[in-house]
Amino acid sequence: MATIRLTEIQKSFGSTEVLKGIDLSIEAGEFLTLVGPSGCGKSTLLRIIAGLEAQSAGEVRIGERLVNGVRAAERNLAMVFQSYALYPHLTVAENMLVPLRLRDLAFRERLPLLGPLLARAKYADLRRQVTETAEVLRLDTLLDRKPGQLSGGQRQRAALGRAMVRKPTAFLMDEPLSNLDAALRVHMRAELAELHRSLGTTFIYVTHDQAEALTMSDRMAVMMGGEILQLDRPQIVYDDPADLRVAEFVGSPKINALPGAADAEGRVHCLGIALTRRLAAEPGQPPREVTAGLRPEHFALSPQAGSDTLSGSLIYRENLGADVYLHLDLGTLRLVVRAGVEEARDYSLGARVHAVPRHDKALVFAEDGRRLRFRDETAGQDADTGLAAVARAAKAFVRPANTAQNAPQREAAAGS
């Protein structure tokens, strides 16, 4: 176990800049998720950590050791691939034996036929390690099968097994669950999180699925356009996104981004509603366009229109069983509002729905996507932003109002 530290990692393919100076420090034993839309550079970053790709600039350190230019095999990391990448001609046991053989045996001991005779004790030891790992992953009955004879989930476990046998410093996982069907994926999420807990090893997990990131990770790094936009605990990323792109990427259905305007005093007006909270004053700030972000669960339904409601006709009911998401047509934009099943029963397609936003939950973003803080949020804040972040984190975890709103996330997290 060791920390992994990336400093100023840059990578370009030809003239396209894929990574623009990534700084990232991964604690020992942490489950860190790199999440972002496809093409954001997350897989490239993982491959640079693995040593499969060389960075154009910057440093990778594992523990105290600088590993720039160190071969992938010598970094003692293990990787699990989306396509599992098991050797198709070898059985599961042989697949798991490959990394051990290459690491622990000398060249002459790896010779076919002769090798096992020369190093009988070593081979027995390697096989014992394979069986132990197989037992942990409940692969013991599958050891003699070839990958072609396994189901997707079993292949996934075999690939994990091959990564686990060598007891690496860290596991790197490149969208390992994307090829599984939905039910199995949710199940494997839980298994992976459990495995992480029992192994205590560092996991670096790449995914484009924000749900996987939210449910499994200790911290998640939201990447876009070759940069890390926000790196924090999943709940904070969800509740307190630093950027509009982060807010839009994390959470499903997507956050509602409503156009609004802020005046010089920091009052925000948005679709005819004035938010009760005021933005922290930025001296000399002229009135400007802003975007107010409100998640679907941050609305309450109201029987009639009022000064504080957004009204639109119901164009789509997205029924998820426990909740129903109502899609409202507000003319220029579409608003998604969460409703209870009972509540939603009263509305049929085309009906007029009135939604009341929860002012305390609104997130305001500047035109460039940057988050704008409210005055009461920044009130007790001193110059040390680090301290402020800790305070915010603490608040996010104790805020009782959250419990009801974030039920789906909580359930998913509990399942993992």
Partner 1 sequence: MTRFSAAETWKHAVLIVGALIVILPFYVMLSYSLKSPGEIERNEGGFFGSQAMMIDERCVKRGEPDRAAIAAAAERFPGSTDSEIQAALMAELRAACSRRPAVFNYTMAFSEAPLLRYLLNGVIVTASIFFIQVLVALPCAYALAKLRWRGREVVFSMVLFCLLIPVHAIALPLYIMLAKVGLTNTYAALVIPWTISVFGIFLMRQFFLTVPDDLIDAARMDGMNEFAIIWRVMLPTAVPALLAFAIFSVVAHWNDYFWPRIVVTGNRDLFTPPLGLREFKGDADGSFFGPMMATATIIVTPLIVAFLIAQRRFIEGITLTGMK
Q: Which residues bind partner 1 (CB under 8 A)?
A: 47, 50, 52, 71-74, 77-79, 81-90, 98-99, 102-103, 162, 174
CB of 225 to partner 1, least distance (A): 24
CB of 402 to partner 1, least distance (A): 40
Residue 126 to residue 130: CA distance in whole angstroms: 6
**In sequence order, what DSSP letters do the residues of 185-249 get, joined into one string?**
HHHHHHHHHHHHHHH--EEEEEES-HHHHHHH-SEEEEEETTEEEEEE-HHHHHHS-SBHHHHHH
Instruction: Rank residues 54 and 333 by Cβ distance to partner 1 and give the closer one.
Output: 54
Instruction: Rank residues 180 and 237 by Cβ distance to partner 1 and give the closer one.
Output: 180
- Cβ neighbours, 10 Å, residue 6: 21
Instruction: Rank residues 97 and 335 by Cβ distance to partner 1 and give the closer one.
Output: 97
Instruction: Rank residues 158 and 335 by Cβ distance to partner 1 and give the closer one.
Output: 158
- Provide, for the chain, the percentages of residues in helix, strand and coil under a 3-state DSSP scheme, each rounded to the nearest 5: 35, 30, 35
Instruction: Rank residues 119 and 294 by Cβ distance to partner 1 and give the closer one.
Output: 119
CB of 164 to partner 1, least distance (A): 13
CB of 79 to partner 1, least distance (A): 5
Per DSSP bridges, beta strands 170-174 and 202-207 are: parallel
Instruction: Rank residues 162 and 219 by Cβ distance to partner 1 and give the closer one.
Output: 162
**Residue 354 in contact with residue 303, Cβ under 8 Å?**
yes
CB of 102 to partner 1, least distance (A): 4
Q: To 10 degrees, the CA torsion angle through 212, 366, 299, 265?
A: 150
Given strand 65-66, what is the order of strands in its sheet? 16-26, 4-13, 57-62, 65-66
- Tokens standing for residue 295: 């998640």
CB of 349 to partner 1, least distance (A): 44
Cross-strand pairs, 221: 34, 231
What is the DSSP code (8-state) at residue 330?
A: -
CB of 149 to partner 1, least distance (A): 15
CB of 48 to partner 1, least distance (A): 13
Q: What angle do CA 196, 202, 204 make, to 5 degrees?
A: 95
CB of 77 to partner 1, least distance (A): 7
Instruction: Rank residues 47 and 208 by Cβ distance to partner 1 and give the closer one.
Output: 47
Is the peptide bond prior to 253 cis by the omega test (within 30 degrees of 0)?
A: yes
Helix axes 407-415, 182-199, angle to 10 degrees: 60
Nearest to 270, CA basis, from 259, 278, 280: 259
CB of 163 to partner 1, least distance (A): 8
What is the DSSP code (8-state) at residue 181?
A: -
Instruction: Rank residues 162 and 327 by Cβ distance to partner 1 and give the closer one.
Output: 162
Instruction: Rank residues 83 and 149 by Cβ distance to partner 1 and give the closer one.
Output: 83
Nearest to 23, CA basis, from 60, 55, 48, 65: 60
Instruction: Rank residues 148 and 321 by Cβ distance to partner 1 and give the closer one.
Output: 148
Residue 19 to residue 9: CA distance in whole angstroms: 7
CB of 161 to partner 1, least distance (A): 13
Instruction: Rank residues 49 and 214 by Cβ distance to partner 1 and give the closer one.
Output: 49
* Residue 298 three-state SS: helix
* Residue 394 three-state SS: helix
